[in-house]
Structure 1
């Protein structure tokens, strides 16, 4: 089969307001995951492992930490003379100027650049989901079905009302679509990974937005347009998938990772690539207790850490106890600090005596060391 001209667009401009303090000072795709990674690493690694070499990243909200991490695409072999990584930022002074107001609007603002690339297929990914997938399989499904849009779907055993929900007929044809329905009629949700036929996408953006734009999110305009006018099919994701949209989902994805039921990050045939900090390996002192946990480089543990994930340069002092926690970069957990079911943001310096954590809830402690949010675990 002839290899089509594929453009990948990763949408990484969202504020992530439901993550509270974790996104007060950084965009959601730059949030730390599994101690050693950033959330955007997952999307970029799926593309790199799928040998997709033209990758554009749409940015908007607080992109500075994200750009520093991206390192011009080097960790994913995207710092190339031909093809490679390209950053798309809001601009003024030409067609598409201004700030997008949603996912569809982001594509509309850069429609001229997409048209100039002249892609046969456009892969569109969100940068805030945990999953691994060979994206060339999605392309194969799209071509074999003669589709104009292929949506990656998955069965979801939780609250499907937060997502787009579909009904699928014979040969994977999407027959109906509901966007964040109060009472979802099926448990088959859209993962916000799409494969569009390039000409059909550009035509849709022109028809929906015209010269003014003002589009919104996929589910409110672009997807209904395609289902009404074009051939839309599904590509089913059978493995793990998690939308990191809430504190509960962020915490739960780490607990599942520790339990061995979460996303697979250590497959040598499908590595998750990143720009690692240049630090010494983690250190566990004499008398410390560490069980069922993940420690990133530069971490030092003198106390007790159970079923928790520590990011780089975290220090847990003697007498401190962590259980079911996610602790981000540079945090110091002092003596007689006992945390359970907590997420601790970067740079917090916690001193005891202090106990935090509520059964059945996840507690967020910000970089100033204050408990700022408690959320029921869904």
Structure 2
């Protein structure tokens, strides 16, 4: 079968304001996940494992740490002479200038660049979701159905009102779409992974955008396709988590520790990254560690239970962590007892200090201050 000319666009420009201090100084796709990874690694690894070779990353908010991490695409074999990784940043002085105001508006701003690629298919993904998926299967679904748009969907047992929701008819055809409905009619949600027919996407961007651009998928692009084109679903049966809130971020890590979360160690589907060049984790004679993940460069002398410890973190003797996520370079001193907490990069915590929450997650910022507590749904 002839391989179609395919372009992947990873949207990585969001501010991620619902993650509070975690995204005050970095874009959400650059947030640390599972100790050694960044959130964007998952999307890029799904593409790499699916043998997609033309990948464009759309940036906007605080891209510096993300650019440093991307390393010209080398960890994902995208540092190529032909094809490979391309960064799309906001610009002035031509068609598409200015700052995009939503995810479909990002596509509208770069419509001329997309058109110049002449894609037959355009894969569009958000960079802030945890899941593994062979995108070749999505393309097969799309082509077999003769679709103009294929939407990756999944069943969601939580609050579906945060997402796009669909109703599916015979042969996987999407019959109705609702964007963040107050009372979702179904539990079938949109994962923000799409496969568009290239010419159909470009035509829609021109027709819908006008002079003012677009907004979010759910406001314009997806309703347009559902009403005027053939739209089908590709069902994701495995794990999927939108890392949109503190509670979702914390819960994804707890599920990872429990073995019910995203599979990051499948040898058939590796997650690639540009890891920090640090020595292996060290566990002292006074340490008590169980059901935890320790990243490179960390030194643990205290108690760590059911927690994720990031690179270069120090947990001193007399410190006690349970159900926590601790990010790069933080130091947890003697007499600090934390449960159900996220500790941001560089925090230097000294005892006596005790933060224990029930059915909530607490964020401690890089200055060591408790800045937010959020209910875990």
Same fold (TM over 0.5): yes
- 212-221 vs 325-334, greater mean Cα deviation: 212-221
> Hey, what's the Cα distance between the residues in 1 that align with 2:86 and 2:131?
23
| 1:340-355 correspondence to structure 2 within 5 Å | 340-355=339-354
Q: What is the aligned partner in structure 2 of residue 304 from structure 1?
A: 303
Cα deviation per residue 1:53-90 (whole Å; 9 max; x = unaligned)? Answer: 00000000000000000000000000000000000000
Tell whether the 8 Å contact from 2:168 to 2:176 is kept in structure 1 after alignment: yes
> Hey, what's the Cα distance between the residues in 1 that align with 2:373 and 2:158?
20
1:235 aligned counterpart, secondary structure: strand
> Hey, what's the Cα distance between the residues in 2 that align with 1:360 and 1:157?
18
> Hey, what's the Cα distance between the residues in 2 that align with 1:320 and 1:252?
23
1:297 aligned counterpart, secondary structure: coil
> Hey, what's the Cα distance between the residues in 2 that align with 1:99 and 1:326?
33
Tell whether the 8 Å contact from 1:132 to 1:263 is kept in structure 2 after alignment: yes
Q: What is the aligned partner in structure 1 of residue 131 from structure 2?
A: 131
Tell whether the 8 Å contact from 2:328 to 2:346 is kept in structure 1 after alignment: yes
| 1:324-335 correspondence to structure 2 within 5 Å | 324-335=323-334
> Hey, what's the Cα distance between the residues in 2 that align with 1:52 and 1:216?
27
Q: What is the aligned partner in structure 1 of residue 267 from structure 2?
A: 268
C-alpha deviation, 1:241, in angstroms = 0.1
Q: What is the aligned partner in structure 2 of residue 171 from structure 1?
A: 171
Cα deviation per residue 1:156-178 (whole Å; 9 max; x = unaligned)? Answer: 00000000000000000000000
> Hey, what's the Cα distance between the residues in 2 that align with 1:227 and 1:159?
23
Q: What is the aligned partner in structure 2 of residue 357 from structure 1?
A: 356
Q: What is the aligned partner in structure 1 of residue 104 from structure 2?
A: 104
Gaps of at least 5 residues in structure 2 are none
Q: What is the aligned partner in structure 2 of residue 375 from structure 1?
A: 374
Tell whether the 8 Å contact from 2:109 to 2:213 is kept in structure 1 after alignment: no
C-alpha deviation, 1:357, in angstroms = 2.7
Q: What is the aligned partner in structure 2 of residue 84 from structure 1?
A: 84
Off by >3 Å, runs of 4+ in structure 1: none
Gaps of at least 5 residues in structure 1 are none
Tell whether the 8 Å contact from 1:130 to 1:244 is kept in structure 2 after alignment: yes
> Hey, what's the Cα distance between the residues in 1 that align with 2:338 and 2:293?
16
Cα deviation per residue 1:272-315 (whole Å; 9 max; x = unaligned)? Answer: 00001110000000021000000000000000000000010000
> Hey, what's the Cα distance between the residues in 1 that align with 2:249 and 2:241?
9
> Hey, what's the Cα distance between the residues in 2 that align with 1:45 and 1:257?
18
Instruction: Report the TM-score, using the length of structure 1 for normalisation.
Output: 0.99
| 1:50-65 correspondence to structure 2 within 5 Å | 50-65=50-65
1:113 aligned counterpart, secondary structure: helix
> Hey, what's the Cα distance between the residues in 1 that align with 2:125 and 2:253?
22
> Hey, what's the Cα distance between the residues in 2 that align with 1:205 and 1:364?
40
> Hey, what's the Cα distance between the residues in 2 that align with 1:109 and 1:323?
45
Q: What is the aligned partner in structure 2 of residue 222 from structure 1?
A: 221
Q: What is the aligned partner in structure 2 of residue 27 from structure 1?
A: 27
> Hey, what's the Cα distance between the residues in 1 that align with 2:123 and 2:209?
20
> Hey, what's the Cα distance between the residues in 2 that align with 1:251 and 1:241?
14
> Hey, what's the Cα distance between the residues in 2 that align with 1:152 and 1:131?
11
C-alpha deviation, 1:2, in angstroms = 1.2
1:144 aligned counterpart, secondary structure: helix
> Hey, what's the Cα distance between the residues in 1 that align with 2:103 and 2:188?
21
> Hey, what's the Cα distance between the residues in 2 that align with 1:269 and 1:253?
22
> Hey, what's the Cα distance between the residues in 2 that align with 1:103 and 1:277?
31
C-alpha deviation, 1:234, in angstroms = 0.1
Q: What is the aligned partner in structure 2 of residue 281 from structure 1?
A: 280
C-alpha deviation, 1:199, in angstroms = 0.2
Cα deviation per residue 1:75-120 (whole Å; 9 max; x = unaligned)? Answer: 0000000000000000000010000000010000000000000000
Instruction: Report the TM-score, using the length of structure 2 for normalisation.
Output: 1.00
Q: What is the aligned partner in structure 2 of residue 4 from structure 1?
A: 4
Calculate the aligned-residue CA RMSD, in Å: 0.4
